[in-house]
């Protein structure tokens, strides 16, 4: 591998599972894009971007592991994948959606609340968290109630053989999930709903 490019005669070494999921997510975004506005995409297993694409007739930019300061707190962060509507230095004001890749065996309330805080700080539209292992139903529903899309890749389910034996099925699963998350904009919807609830409470104070 050289500059993130894959060469068949020299397979990559020391690539973590989360990096593979990250690269797979990037591939899925590119496959679903109307157009890829660059002839080269390099360093897919590391920090890269901006990668210009056209989605739904609009120009967007993809960043892998960009340095980013929070919109409210000013605290620094580094999302795994960020999509913006500007090719300039990524910022909360241009951030559209975030994709995070988690490969820990247990995902619980502390991590979900931490990811919610990051999404809230960035005023993001949609926030998808890939989990290499299947989280509990309670955690998935809890994340959903906060506007976070927590989705299992399915390698520890009865779909494992199908996903590994037919890579096109894995790519389709990832691409479809990313598309649904993007279009639903679950985090933005949850924030609007929460704002309405808070406004109602304010009238009772």
Per-residue pLDDT band for 13 (boundaries 50, 70, 90) equals low
Q: Would you say 61 and 50 are in contact if contact means Cβ atoms under 8 Å apart?
A: yes
Of 56 and 195, the structure prediction assigns the larger pLDDT to 56
- Report d(CA 63, CA 84) in Å as an integer: 8
Peptide bond into 50 cis (omega under 30): yes
Which residue in 60, 57, 148, 156 sits closest to 106, CA to CA?
156
**Cα separation of 174 and 152, whole Å?**
10
The pair of three-digit structure tokens given for residue 175, joined into one six-digit string? 């691409």
Residue 139 domain flag:
no
User: How many other β-carbons are positioned within 10 Å of the β-carbon of residue 103?
Assistant: 15
When divided into structural domains, the chain yields a total of 1
d(CA 98, CA 127): 5
Rounded Cα gap, residues 122 and 118, in angstroms: 6
Q: Please report whether residue 2 resides in a domain.
A: no
What pLDDT does 1 receive?
Answer: 40
User: Is there a domain that residue 40 lies in?
Assistant: yes
Per-residue buried b or exposed e for 46-68, using 16+ beta carbons within 10 Å of the residue's own CB:
eebbbbebebeeeebbbbbbbeb
pLDDT tens-digit map of 135-189: 999 999 999 999 999 999 888 888 888 888 888 888 999 999 999 999 998 888 8
Mean pLDDT over each residue of the chain, to the nearest integer:
86
Residue 111 domain-assigned?
yes
Residue 201 lies in a domain: no
Query: How many percent of the chain have pLDDT more than 70?
Result: 93
Residue 174 lies in a domain: yes
Q: What is the pLDDT of residue 12?
A: 57
Mean pLDDT of 103-131: 92
pTM: 0.86
Let me know if residue 4 belongs to a domain: no
Beta bridge partners of 63: 82
The model's pLDDT over 30-71, given as tens digits with 9 standing for 90+, comes to 999 999 998 888 888 888 889 999 999 999 999 999 988 767
Q: Are 178 and 149 in contact (CB under 8 A)?
A: no
67-104 pLDDT per residue, tens = 887 677 888 888 999 999 998 888 888 999 999 999 88
138 in any annotated domain:
no
Whether the CA torsion 15, 17, 21, 24 is positive or negative: it is positive
- Could you tell me the pLDDT band of residue 9, with boundaries at 50, 70 and 90? very low
Residue 169 belongs to domain spanning:
17-133+146-196
């Amino acid at each position: 591998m050289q500059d993130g490019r894959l060469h068949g005669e020299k397979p990559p070494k020391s690539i973590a599972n989360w990096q593979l999921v990250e690269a797979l997510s990037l591939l899925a975004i590119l496959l679903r894009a109307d157009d890829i506005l660059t002839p080269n995409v390099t360093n897919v297993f590391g920090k890269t971007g901006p990668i210009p694409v056209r989605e739904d007739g609009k120009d967007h930019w993809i960043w892998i592991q960009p340095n980013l300061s929070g919109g409210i707190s000013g605290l620094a962060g580094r999302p795994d994948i960020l999509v913006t509507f500007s090719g300039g230095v990524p910022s909360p004001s241009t951030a559209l959606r975030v994709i995070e890749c988690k490969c820990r065996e247990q995902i619980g309330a502390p991590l979900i609340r931490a990811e919610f805080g990051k999404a809230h700080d960035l005023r993001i539209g949609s926030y998808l968290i890939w989990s290499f292992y299947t989280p509990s139903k309670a955690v998935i529903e809890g994340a959903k109630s906060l506007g976070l899309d927590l989705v299992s890749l399915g390698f520890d389910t009865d779909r494992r053989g199908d996903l590994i034996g037919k890579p096109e099925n894995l790519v389709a699963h990832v691409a479809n999930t990313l598309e649904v998350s993007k279009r639903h904009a679950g985090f933005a919807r949850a924030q609007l709903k929460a704002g309405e609830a808070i406004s109602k409470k304010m009238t009772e104070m």
